[in-house]
């Protein structure tokens, strides 16, 4: 969790507080940072996009805008308060939200052109994270693309201490280096890693 304490199984219940904290943490750079994720994912008009662990739907809405005209985005999150907030603030005919978990997606095989996710991978319980990546592979069409962005812990001792004290050990020790090999293990190819903003580690890959 970057901001907002998760409850059982990594689910965040305080949707409005999370939204405010998200704005504070990105310090005026939320639009730019999330816009960069949409660009890195290569979302184009007509694409069908899935946002996993969408929270209040900020990235989902930007993806829906990039997929217009003709495309759409759906955000999935197990937190009903998050999905409710996302629907109220960002829902529309081409930007929809559903309660669901990454490790058990409801969509049929090959539904999406693009899957994106921000700051959510570390919330998926470790014991089902591999299953979640298999699910991402399953719901993408052949040639479909995935972009997973998650919190990259700082290297400095003081910064690490601060992250641990404010956000917990899960974020301080977040093993983002495991995402790329796990995507390869799920069957993805062309796996590449990059940074976005000061604390996001991005992994992109393609379903052959």
Ligand X SMILES: C[S@@+](CC[C@H](N)C(=O)[O-])C[C@H]1O[C@@H](n2cnc3c(N)ncnc32)[C@H](O)[C@@H]1O
Binding interface with ligand X (CB under 6 A): 1-2, 9-12, 22, 52-55, 58-59, 77-79, 82, 101-103, 118-120, 123-124
Min separation Cβ 48 and ligand X, Å = 18
Min separation Cβ 138 and ligand X, Å = 15
CB nearer ligand X, residue 47 or residue 135: 135
How far apart (Å, rounded) are the C-alpha atoms in residues 75 and 117?
A: 9
**3-state secondary structure (DSSP) of residue 54:** coil
Check if the beta carbon of residue 26 is closer than 8 Å to that of residue 33: yes
CB nearer ligand X, residue 86 or residue 205: 86
How far apart (Å, rounded) are the C-alpha atoms in residues 205 and 147?
A: 7
Residues with Cβ within 8 Å of 164's Cβ and at least 6 positions away in sequence, in order, are 171, 172
Min separation Cβ 123 and ligand X, Å = 4
Check if the beta carbon of residue 146 is closer than 8 Å to that of residue 188: yes
CB nearer ligand X, residue 42 or residue 170: 170
Min separation Cβ 7 and ligand X, Å = 9
Residues with Cβ within 8 Å of 103's Cβ and at least 6 positions away in sequence, in order, are 124, 125, 128, 129, 131, 132, 135
In the complex, residue closest to ligand X by CB: 55
CB nearer ligand X, residue 72 or residue 118: 118
**Residue (of 79, 70, 71) closest to 48 by Cα position:** 71
Min separation Cβ 76 and ligand X, Å = 6
Tokens of 145: 């693309």
CB nearer ligand X, residue 84 or residue 154: 84
């Amino acid at each position: 969790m970057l901001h907002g304490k998760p409850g059982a199984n990594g689910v965040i219940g305080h949707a409005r507080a999370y939204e405010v904290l998200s704005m504070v943490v990105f310090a005026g750079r939320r639009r730019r940072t999330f816009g960069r994720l949409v660009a890195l994912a290569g979302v184009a008009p007509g694409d069908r996009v899935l946002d996993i662990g969408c929270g209040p739907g900020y990235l989902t809405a930007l993806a829906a805008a990039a997929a217009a005209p003709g495309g759409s985005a759906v955000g999935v999150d197990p937190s009903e308060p998050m999905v409710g907030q996302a629907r109220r603030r960002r829902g529309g005919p081409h930007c929809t939200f559903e309660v669901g978990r990454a490790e058990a997606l409801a969509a049929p095989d090959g539904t999406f052109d693009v899957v994106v996710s921000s700051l959510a991978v570390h919330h998926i319980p470790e014991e089902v994270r591999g299953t979640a990546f298999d699910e991402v592979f399953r719901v993408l069409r052949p040639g479909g693309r995935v972009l997973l962005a998650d919190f990259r812990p700082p290297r400095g001792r003081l910064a690490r201490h601060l992250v641990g004290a404010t956000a917990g050990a899960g974020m301080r020790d977040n093993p983002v280096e495991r995402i790329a090999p796990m995507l390869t293990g799920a069957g993805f190819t062309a796996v590449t890693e990059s940074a976005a903003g000061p604390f996001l580690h991005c992994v992109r890959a393609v379903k052959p």
